[in-house]
Structure 1
Amino acid sequence: MRCALTIAYNGTDFLGSQAQKSSSNTILGNLEKVLLQLSIDSKIIASGRTDKGVHATGQVCHIDLPPFWDDLEKLKRVLNEMLPPSIRIKYAKEVDAEFHARYSAKKRVYRYIIKESKSNPFEDNFITFLDSVDFEKLEKNIKLYIGEHDFANFMKTGSDTKSSVREVFKAFAYKHNGYIVLNFEANGFLRSQIRLMVSALLKLEKKELEEQLKCESNYKIKPAPSNGLYLARIKY
């Protein structure tokens, strides 16, 4: 049986989501270790990777279960008992054998959270704190990302990808309970793309951002901090 797992995690103490040979301290590394203890040796396929410190409320993975694991509610409960408390299985459901967590995904939704304030120890791992934000400019310029663009200037150096063209379906900013939330929905994202998009919004003027998007200029900017970024949802 092929099973899709929807996972939420606090990425603060992990070296990203992807399994690594050098360390098991990743989201999938921890999940793989627990699955093996349950005699499930299927390869875990995720919808995509998240970097060190990035969080998720709706990451999706698929695994192929042996016949003796046919009670998915029990599997979810056992996994949550064995996994670190910073990783939670939200849903476990049966899917078609052709379902692929990565390649079947049609849209990916991310959110980035900012707060105009001095940092505090209770939120510092989950929000990017800034002294001041020009929200009107942010709200206006974020719409420039909508559409199909070559995001070659918005990906981490050394990224392994055949094409840097991506289509952004939605990009908007709003305020909620004292926080500024940036919402991005696209058919896919390059490595560190959203953090570079956020950084460009905060640091570049409209003309510079347009030049960056058109690959006419490359304004060297550092990615926004990882702690404010959340993989919110995968749409199939």
Structure 2
Amino acid sequence: MPRFALKIEYHGAPFAGWQRQKEQPSVQQAVEQALRKLDPSVDTIAAAGRTDAGVHGLAQVAHCDMVRDWDPFRLSEALNHHLKPAPVAILAAARVADDWHARFSATERRYMFRLLARRAPVTHDAGLVWQVKQPLDRAAMQAGADRLIGHHDFTTFRSTICQADSPMKTLDELRVEEIARPDAVEYRFHVRARSFLHNQVRSFVGTLERVGAGAWTPDDVTAALNARNRAACGPVCPPQGLYLAGVGYKDDPFAP
């Protein structure tokens, strides 16, 4: 059976997360239902990573096996037709080897978190950012972020329901970008690693926001990391500002 990789964009607000769940809408379910309109034999799809309720996808990657050897462009067009009106889009499809796996072949995951500082309520960005009222100190947040880069025991920044075998992870990038807007200041947190713990990125951002607000120092971030205790973490920020921004592979299946 031919195997296809799918690059998927979605707005997470209407969904209980990526993973199929009983009696709750999920992104996985929406894509699988569209696939079965084309091939009733499709059982399930596998994704590069799960996202929680309210989290968005800019370039999630999944794979599926189908009976027909579709032209990739026609497959993506047909799926987008059947996905309407769900806020899910297939950005690209690609034929891949039978042993290629969206999750296990991945070499890195990239996340972006959007934090918007302004006093007026959010309108156009509602559901797409985490809003705070006052501007933050980007340099201080970056100094705190730098304390987290590298190979560490991230127990402090791991959800108590995380199912990973080990809290040890290597964080390759945690970069804080500041974007001036006429009505606000936006901070974007760019995070990159081979894999992540449950709630790890949201725990990072919630903690660094405290640094930017002056309630914590970069040394407090180091102390929290070294505590290896979930109680030492700063507030976990809400999900709506988080985006799965991309997945890396040794050979990009979507490369021209």
| Structure-2 separation of matches of 1:175 and 1:222 | 21
Note closer, same or farther for the CA distance 1:228–1:57 as it changes in structure 2 (3 Å cut): same
Q: State yes or no: 1:227 paired with 2:240.
A: yes
- Checking the alignment, whether the CA contact within 8 Å between 2:30 and 2:86 is kept in structure 1 is no
- Deviation string 1:46-66 (CA, Å, 9 cap, x unpaired) is 001001110111100011111
Aligned pairs for 1:108-123 (under 5 A) are 108-117=109-118, 118-123=120-125
| Structure-2 separation of matches of 1:177 and 1:90 | 29
2:161 aligned counterpart, secondary structure: coil
2:207 aligned partner: 200
- Deviation string 1:51-98 (CA, Å, 9 cap, x unpaired) is 1110111100011111x2422211111111111341000010011111
Note closer, same or farther for the CA distance 1:31–1:202 as it changes in structure 2 (3 Å cut): same
Aligned pairs for 1:66-81 (under 5 A) are 66=67, 68-81=68-81
| Structure-1 separation of matches of 2:23 and 2:154 | 30
1:140 aligned partner: 143
Match of 1:124 among 123, 126, 139: 126
- Deviation string 1:141-195 (CA, Å, 9 cap, x unpaired) is 1111210111111121121111111111111111234321111000111111100
Note closer, same or farther for the CA distance 1:216–1:234 as it changes in structure 2 (3 Å cut): closer
Q: State yes or no: 1:28 paired with 2:28.
A: yes
- Checking the alignment, whether the CA contact within 8 Å between 1:150 and 1:215 is kept in structure 2 is no
1:181 aligned partner: 188
Q: Which moved more, 1:104-113 or 1:139-148?
A: 139-148
1:173 aligned counterpart, secondary structure: strand
| Structure-2 separation of matches of 1:33 and 1:216 | 42
Q: Which amino acid aligns with 1:119?
A: P
- Checking the alignment, whether the CA contact within 8 Å between 1:42 and 1:65 is kept in structure 2 is no
2:147 aligned counterpart, secondary structure: helix
Match of 1:171 among 174, 186, 190: 174
Runs of 4+ residues deviating >4 angstroms? none
Give RMSD over aligned pairs: 1.5
Structure 1 unmatched runs, 5+: none
Query: TM-score w.r.t. structure 2 length?
Result: 0.87
Query: TM-score w.r.t. structure 1 length?
Result: 0.94
| Structure-2 separation of matches of 1:50 and 1:196 | 15
1:17 aligned counterpart, secondary structure: coil
2:213 aligned partner: none
Structure 2 unmatched runs, 5+: 211-215, 250-256
- Checking the alignment, whether the CA contact within 8 Å between 1:69 and 1:75 is kept in structure 2 is no
Q: State yes or no: 1:152 paired with 2:165.
A: no
| Structure-1 separation of matches of 2:164 and 2:101 | 19
Count of paired positions = 234
Note closer, same or farther for the CA distance 1:105–1:216 as it changes in structure 2 (3 Å cut): closer
- Checking the alignment, whether the CA contact within 8 Å between 1:60 and 1:234 is kept in structure 2 is yes
| Structure-2 separation of matches of 1:13 and 1:145 | 32
